[in-house]
Amino acid sequence: MKKNLIGIQVDDAIQISNKLNDLLANYQVFYQNLRGLHWNIKGKSFFELHLKFEEFYDDAIIKIDEIAERILTLEGEPLHTFSDYIKVSEIKEEKSVTDGTKGVEIIVSNLSTLLQKERNILSLATKAGDEGTVTLISDYISQKEKTLWMLNSYLQ
């Protein structure tokens, strides 16, 4: 069995890269949803949510870069066009959302989708002995679980 530059089986690296590209596409649509929510939010929770949504999109853009770089490390090619993102992403674009509660509900739904995909990647990476991807994704999962708890508390 052939290994890549970092010692991962080539077939495993390809499979993980493909799943990471799926995650990347979903993160890109999620990021754009966050930007729209940040820009368009109105109402009594404007100041609180405007800042929180900015915090979320600042975090998402860092993760987007990390995911793309991990794909490259595995010797894959990250998706980089909006047409590919829209085609691949399970997360759908949101448009003209101004209601804070609706915005938080969208974020909860998007984060839940990302979490499911990350758990799948974690399982594949663990089986492949891909510690770099395991570490990256494990950190995302624990952070996302806490964020989901907090957002669900906000919604109650």
| Domains in the chain, CATH or no CATH each | 10-155 (1.20.1260.10)
pLDDT digits (tens, 9 = 90+) for 39-92: 999 999 999 999 999 999 999 999 999 999 999 999 999 999 999 999 999 999
The pLDDT assigned to 1 comes to 84
With a CB cutoff of 8 Å and minimum separation 6, the contacts of 17 are 71, 74, 75, 76
Partners of 99 in beta bridges: 42
**Distance of alpha carbon 86 from alpha carbon 92, whole angstroms:** 8
- Rounded Cα distance, 54 and 38, in Å: 6
Question: Could you tell me the CA-to-CA distances from 18 to 70, 95, 117, 128 in Å, in that order?
Answer: 11, 28, 12, 14
Is it the case that residue 147 has pLDDT exceeding 90? yes
Mean pLDDT estimate for the chain: 98
Give the pTM: 0.97
